[in-house]
Structure 1
Amino acid sequence: MGLRRTGRVAVDLLAANRKTLRPHYPAAGSARTDPATFGGMGANVILKGRMDELGLTQDELARQMNVALEALGGKPGDVSARTVRNLLDGSTRRPIGRTCAALEAVFGCPVSALGFGSPRTAAQAEDPVHRRTFLVAATGTAVAAATPTGRSRLGQSDVDRFHREYAELLRDNRLGGARPVGNKAVELAARIQSSLAAGGASDRVRRQMYQLASNVMCLAAFAAIDASAPQRARAHLDTALTLAGLARGSETMYRVWDHLMLTSSQRENHVEAAAGAEVMKRSSVARRDPLHASLGHMRYANALARLHQPVESLRALNFAERAFGRTRGEWPSAWISFYSRAEFDALSSYVWTALGEHERAESCLHRTLAAVPGDMVRDTALYTAHLSLSQARQGEVELACTTGRQAYAVLLSASVSQRTMNTLTRTRQVIEATGTKAPEVVNWIEESRRWT
């Protein structure tokens, strides 16, 4: 799937899922054909209500269902406004097959929660085993599958067990090692999804498992970002986005959007990066929590700086600073804890660098390196490399060489971060452009070529 199509799918699925955090689903086992469900004239008032919440017209819902079908199965969808009209007026009371899968993908919930009867009871209209196979193949997960007879049921202990493995990967990620961490994360996410497909679970446990699987795939995506492999990261995030929708958690979806923004930026698509940051800062979790609000504004400031909009970028940076000042040092998740004061200064340095204010960028990076924890080896190497680059851009070539050598020495103690190596390459290019013939600088240039 191409980048533009992938971005469109992501936007569509987020729009469809953004209000699922306070679900008002009918009670399990209620009569879906009851007049109270379909209204006096047979209309499906639950589906109509969900569409109204999300601002979806019949044409727009048909479009989103077709996009979802293409994302799920690789084949264009053929849903029309008439199909949607039949779903709304009660002509279709038990959607099956691709129509059912598309509805569940767009709204992020089973069709039974949209006022329809279960396709499993639709007079054998479709083999239930075939339906589960289609859903697993389409999404990588067993969406709302019934618990197979005789199979084990997932519980909180299973969630805790998988979470411990995830926590280990988070610790490994602080040291670096993009490829090993990424591979382990993909393997862990696959086992979580396999467990969901093989056993039943309560809604609470199932949502926790989907959330954990999404977070693990985000970790795999970040490892790919660190390896400067945005295409691979984007593929991981497509999976993470679907899982986040099934988890129905705003913070989980926020994390996916943060990483989508980073992949867009890495591909130099700063318009898309700015759009992703807009979603972040307007999300429900950002409205509730100033730390998430600050990060959204910071990502937006970085994108705008690269779009050569300095006034708007600095305004966003100011919003990020003010929101960060309202935090109480308490993080609602292990993931967002990376956004410390040291990280705030580091991300601010990127804004100043993009705006050509290299002295300010250097000042931010000095503060970052003075505060970053010693066990965050990958970040220390990366920020030291950026410090070297900012010094080189100010004409301090000898100092930049010394700092660059320090960055490489730190990097050697961890697995290689391609982002750090790319930063050192840019530093060398800036120094070479000065034309200096100082022996120590010439030696550093030759030495650094062997690194990168």
Structure 2
Amino acid sequence: MGANVILQAQMAELGLTQDELARQMNVALLEITGRLGEVSARTVRNLLNGSTRRPIGRTCIALEEVFACPVSDLGFSLPRTAADAEDSVQRRTLLLAATGTAAALAAPARRPRLGQSDADRFQLEYADLLREDSQLGGARRIENRAVELAARIQSSLAGGSASERVQRQSYRLASDVTCLAAFGAIDARAPRRARTHLDQALTLAGLSRDAEAMYRVWDHLMLASSQRENHAEAAAGAEVMKRSTVSRRDPLFASLGHMRHANALARLHQPAESLRALTRAEAAFARARTGQVAEWITFYSRAEFDALSSYVWTALGDHERAESCLHRTLASIPVGMVRNKALYTAHLSLAQARQGEVELACATGRRAQGMLLPASGSQRTTNTLSVTRQVIAATGTKVPEAASWIEESRRWN
């Protein structure tokens, strides 16, 4: 007597635990017979460990209904004789007839199931989009592909059945993918379009019942509010992030919440409160573990912490300290984060220009523009360079290097 490895594999494919399979078998019997089944986790254990090698009657029917295939395809032995096989068919027919469904012996087509392999395939597509976005940023085609992927995930959820685990995982993924589309719109400086994506992501995150998914939506809502200059709303969103379940559990999430709050408060001209929030962000970041975290928040490294700190100092008017933070960022930012490297180089150029370092700012700005890939849509970067040009032009400088850069940079917008 050996374990039924085929049934084990099929359960793993659909993301079913023993309790979940028992529940789905009972629901299947309710749909077929009008009476809830009595399948227990012990029944399923016997099916898995080989104690039951030839399921019969209601157990057989429920298995075939849940997995949409004959029990022989699930690793169980065929009936011993042809008579047993015929008897099994007759029992199924009588069971169906008892509920008035015997006329439908040719059962209606079963809906496709959404299994773990489907969820894994969607996850790989999402990971590819994340990598591409970290290089390009703001590209409309990435945003559109994210919207299309989210639609396919939702279509799979609507058109088939899935275990509770796979269902929640898929809703979480659909929310994450929609957030990626929203961040693309934010990077392209299209906050209204981003808000439309985030309204959808908020619903999907709620359906997933996942605290991290909900946190991510609030993070992006805060960014969209800030981009629309609604800093009071941004501060309120950061408050939600700080007080979320995931922030209470993980210092990394708490740190990002405090950092977002510090930025919003700085723009609301509350310097003391902003610096307190920045101090809390630093303390929480120091406690953060280096283990497994959600893929989207891996961007929040020490380099990113320094970059976001520079935004706080810029809003508070301390451009020298902002420049120092940005130098630390650019010294340690991962090579693959091309979009962010260009963005923070542009902010470095702006910090230098605001300190009157005109020629240096021009050279840094030219370097930032050269980092952007041809297909990039990072309007945040080009807008920052545009502000840098305005700051330099306002100085009235006649330095040849500045004059040529001002003229050259006009075509970047």
Length-normalised TM-score, structure 1: 0.67
Q: Residue 131 of structure 2 aligns with which residue? A: 171
Match of 1:217 among 149, 159, 178: 178
Q: Residue 362 of structure 2 aligns with which residue? A: 401
Unaligned 5+ residue runs, structure 2? 1-22, 28-107
Matched, 1:264 2:264: no
Q: CA deviation at 1:149?
A: 6.0
Q: CA deviation at 1:328?
A: 2.0
Match of 1:357 among 315, 318, 342: 318
Match of 1:424 among 385, 392, 395: 385
- Hey, what's the Cα distance between the residues in 2 that align with 1:236 and 1:382? 23
Partner amino acid, structure 1, of 2:133: N
Matched, 1:317 2:285: no
Q: Residue 282 of structure 1 aligns with which residue? A: 243
Q: Residue 158 of structure 1 aligns with which residue? A: 118
- Hey, what's the Cα distance between the residues in 1 that align with 2:260 and 2:234? 8
Partner amino acid, structure 1, of 2:338: V
CA contact (8 A) 2:187 2:377 kept: no
- Hey, what's the Cα distance between the residues in 2 that align with 1:149 and 1:226? 45
Alignment map for 1:183-194 (pairs within 5 Å): 183-194=144-155
CA contact (8 A) 2:150 2:174 kept: yes
Listed one character per residue, the Cα deviations across residues 21-42 of structure 1 (whole Å, up to 9, x for unaligned) are xxxxxx9999xxxxxxxxxxxx
Partner amino acid, structure 2, of 1:278: E
SS in structure 2 of the partner of residue 330 of structure 1: coil
Unaligned 5+ residue runs, structure 1? 1-26, 31-147
- Kindly report structure 1 stretches of 4+ aligned residues shifted beyond 3 Å: 27-30
Listed one character per residue, the Cα deviations across residues 391-428 of structure 1 (whole Å, up to 9, x for unaligned) are 00001011000000000000145513100000000000
Alignment map for 1:374-413 (pairs within 5 Å): 374-412=335-373
- Hey, what's the Cα distance between the residues in 2 that align with 1:413 and 1:379? 15
- Hey, what's the Cα distance between the residues in 2 that align with 1:224 and 1:451? 19
> How many residues of Structure 1 are paired with residues of Structure 2 in the alignment?
309
Q: Residue 48 of structure 2 aligns with which residue? A: none
SS in structure 1 of the partner of residue 372 of structure 2: helix
Match of 1:340 among 256, 277, 301: 301
CA contact (8 A) 1:192 1:209 kept: yes
Partner amino acid, structure 2, of 1:386: H
Percent of pairs with identical residues: 74
- Hey, what's the Cα distance between the residues in 1 that align with 2:327 and 2:377? 23
Matched, 1:296 2:257: yes
Q: Residue 333 of structure 2 aligns with which residue? A: 372
CA contact (8 A) 2:136 2:373 kept: no
State which structure, 1 or 2, has the greater radius of gyration over its C-alpha atoms: 2
Q: CA deviation at 1:180?
A: 1.6
Listed one character per residue, the Cα deviations across residues 412-450 of structure 1 (whole Å, up to 9, x for unaligned) are 455131000000000001001111111111111011112
Listed one character per residue, the Cα deviations across residues 349-368 of structure 1 (whole Å, up to 9, x for unaligned) are 00000000000000000000
What is the CA RMSD across the aligned residues, in angstroms? 1.5
CA contact (8 A) 1:378 1:414 kept: no
Alignment map for 1:67-146 (pairs within 5 Å): none
Listed one character per residue, the Cα deviations across residues 229-280 of structure 1 (whole Å, up to 9, x for unaligned) are 0010000000000000000000000000000000000000000000000000
Q: CA deviation at 1:390?
A: 0.2
Partner amino acid, structure 2, of 1:316: A
SS in structure 2 of the partner of residue 416 of structure 1: coil
CA contact (8 A) 2:115 2:166 kept: yes
Length-normalised TM-score, structure 2: 0.73
The range that moved more, 405-414 or 384-393, is 405-414
- Hey, what's the Cα distance between the residues in 2 that align with 1:149 and 1:239? 31
- Hey, what's the Cα distance between the residues in 2 that align with 1:218 and 1:290? 22
